[in-house]
Structure 1
Amino acid sequence: MVKTMVRARTAVVVTALALAAGCSGNDEPSASSTTPGTTSAPTTAGTTSAPSSSAPSSTAAAQGPVKLTVASTVATGIEVPWGLAFLPDKSALVSERDSSKIKRIAGGQVSEVGEVDDVDASSEGGLLGLAVDPQYPTRPYIYAMYTSGDDNRIARLTYRNNQLSDQQVILDGIQKAAIHNGGRLRFGPDGYLYVGTGEAGDRPNAQDDNSLGGKILRITTDGKAAPGNPGGRLWLSKGHRNVQGLAFDGKQLYASEFGQSTWDELNVITAGANYGWPAAEGIDSLDGMTNPIAVWKPADASPSGIAFAQGHIFMASLRGERLWAIPVANGKRTGEPQAFFVGEFGRLRTVETAPDGSLWLTTSNTDGRNDPRDGDDRILRITISR
């Protein structure tokens, strides 16, 4: 059962898509696609700490690089913010990994709306991603991924009048460990819930078709396998080490992933594809395995959440302490990634596109792997221009 912490003063009417996830284990579909979350095989590019690329497309060249500006600080004093999901009234819900609390941010004010039960927070585990039911308020639910004492789970909770209640587990049995728990949740344009998982430090999980670890899951709101999944299974793709970010550009799904000690990755997700771990890390071009479209040295990335806006995937980086902007189109990279805010705000965990087109970016300096700064952790509002 959910323990309601604070009753906010006004009711929230929610219709938004879902969002929001991890900690660095190495630090320490195109419009013509017929299967959701799929595209043709991605191009292979990126070989150095700042990844290289093939020649940009004429569209990308005409657009030019983006400029990011910190417009304001939305909130401060949040403990290890992890999942972030916008509501249609332009407020947002944010999960605190270690406290098990979910908080609402509205008009610069932060209030607690509830607490998720049975969360076992340790190292990289705890209360992780959040998503809002795409049929809200007809279906007045939010979804949370969290680490329990036995496994990683996804729960559906009722959200009415700024309060959480009626916690129900819709999927359990996702492998857990102190590291590599994944945790990101996002609803796709097909109405199904996509889930990033890690292999929980046990490498064979990533290639085991019967394991939920090291996969991207695609499930219904009742926790069942979504129609069209490979073999009728719960997962869409396999061979992942630790998926931390999920984002859609139309029907095309992208995912960020922690490498081990050599390459972090940005992948274009194709239904049924094998992304190589543990045989491959970065661009290895192994038979039957899919290469990433961009790679980084862990010191420059250790990627967490990603978001899509204005022809770019924006990727928050933990160890790298920067926000990457990667130009993409039709499931391919179209130019050189740009790095922003290098070292300015410390570890960066989650980035989401806000209803007004700006980005909300969370820091992660209270997660035990950095020295907190005054006001940490915070959420920054970032505007995009050219």
Structure 2
Amino acid sequence: MVKTMVRQGSRTAVVVTALALAAACSGDGGEPSGSGTSATSPSSTPSSTPSPTNSRPTSAAPATTAPAGPVKLTVASTVATGIEVPWGLAFLPDQSALVSERDSTKIKRIAGGRVTEVGEVDDVDPSSEGGLLGLAVDPQYPSRPYIYAYYSAGDDNRIARLTYRDNRLSDQQVILDGIPQASIHNGGRLRFGPDGFLYAGTGDGGDRPNSQDDGSLGGKILRITTDGKAAPGNPGGRPWFSKGHRNVQGLAFDRNQLYAAEFGQNTWDELNAITSGANYGWPAAEGVEGLDGMTDPIAQWRTGDASPSGIAFAQGHVFMASLRGERLWAIPVAGGKRTGEPQAFFTNEFGRLRTVEAAPDGSLWLTTSNTDGRGDTRNGDDRILRVTISR
């Protein structure tokens, strides 16, 4: 039986916006926005006043001065430059990292400031939002020397397991296919949970009914074994863990609590706290709606201020990379609830931001996405930045 949750309208949701922008479809970040004016200090935006009704919050203009926020982010160094549309990023036990290039289908290793190619993923069919997407490293690596890749093929999206030894890829094996695929809304993020199972964020493939169709892998967060089978305890024994999503591209765990970032259509982007079997509303809901049997996000943003992709958890915060918004959000959370006001960092400094990952040394690695045809390419793009966190 599918478990559902209802969040009452009195629950506060955050609206983060400078202007009430109208956008056709946020998709993979919407149309490219200009680089704007560089901002070297974080900005915060107050949330709406809690309301006793289920009405949506109204927009609030961002503060013009830096707040005394709980964290401070500093770009400490540039880890790598000249990467073509980086998408997935995953660390290995030796503290090196693998990064996927969406359009070239290549996977590259970053170690000691050097970038080397380790191989390509076969049968990838790049499109405006499809291609070689998320990566994950087996939690038992190197005794199980596997990495996992989410990619778009000709007719569907797939998850493959590849052997990774001696800095080379081999033995590609598809463990799950049939995920709806289109030029848009492909999802693509992979993340191993503390339970040892592989979680994958999918999109509706441009076909809205997929999100509510229990028999479709589209518009879901999947939870599978390393062989691609439905993980024990999934709702109805199916491969999916939650449904009612439009386009999930960010997954992060705080212990056992899973968070997911989701593209809205043209009004609200979302950060959701994920519960097994819950229905997150799409296409009936976009942002906070208070609909019976559907779970509202714990935070929402105008699409022009976010268009979120990757997220990471560190030091009590979900860090959310924003494409069209061209900033990194820091959202304080605990136990599936938002505990304070989000802060925006690096607004318009580095262009579109795609992926953020917590590094073994306690820093964050942050990728730009300016060579994907929707951004303003800068000298050295695309790059990976090393960001330190302090209080």
Matching of residue 344 in structure 1 with residue 312 in structure 2: no
Q: How does 1:235-384 map to 2 (within 5 A)?
A: 235-384=240-389
* Residue 95 of structure 2, aligned match among 90, 96, 99: 90
Counterparts of 1:1-386 in structure 2 under 5 Å? 43-49=11-17, 50=45, 52=47, 64-386=69-391
SS at match of 1:274: coil
Deviation at 1:168, TM superposition (A): 0.2
Corresponding residue SS for 1:170: strand
Deviation at residue 41 of structure 1 after TM alignment: 6.1
CA distance in 1, matches of 2:49, 2:316: 17
CA positional deviation for 1:88? 1.2
Instruction: Check the 8 A contact 2:127/2:183 in 1, yes or no.
Output: yes
Structure 2: distance between partners of 1:48 and 1:344: 18
CA positional deviation for 1:355: 0.2
In the alignment, the residues of structure 1 paired with residue 221 and residue 82 of structure 2 have an alpha-carbon distance, to the nearest angstrom, of: 32
Identity %: 83
Rounded Cα–Cα distance in structure 1 between residues aligned with 2:219 and 2:266: 17
Q: Is the 8 A contact 1:79 1:97 kept in 2?
A: yes
Asked if the contact 2:5–2:294 (Cα under 8 Å) also holds between the matched residues in 1, the reply is no
TM-score by length of 2: 0.85
CA distance, structure 1, for counterparts of residue 188 and residue 12 of structure 2: 26
Ranges in structure 1 where 5+ consecutive residues have no aligned partner = 1-37, 56-62
Provide TM-score, normalisation by structure 1: 0.86
Aligned-residue Cα RMSD (Å) equals 1.7
Paired amino acid for 2:250: G
Secondary structure of 1:315's aligned partner: strand
| Number of corresponding residues | 342
1:64 and 1:81 map into 2 onto residues whose CA distance is: 30
| Structure 2 CA distance for aligned equivalents of residues 41 and 95 of structure 1 | 37
Which residue identity is paired with 2:179?
I
- Counterpart code for 1:52: S
The answer (yes or no) to whether the contact 2:6–2:290 under 8 Å persists in 1 is no
Aligned-pair CA distance for 1:52: 1.2
Q: Which amino acid aligns with 2:273?
A: V
Q: Is the 8 A contact 1:41 1:270 kept in 2?
A: no
Contact 1:183 1:196 in 2 (8 A): yes
Superposed displacement of residue 371, structure 1: 2.0
Structure 2: which 5+ runs fail to align?
A: 18-44, 51-67
Q: Residue 71 of structure 1 aligns to which amino acid in structure 2?
A: A
Q: Which amino acid in the other structure matches residue 188 of structure 1? A: G
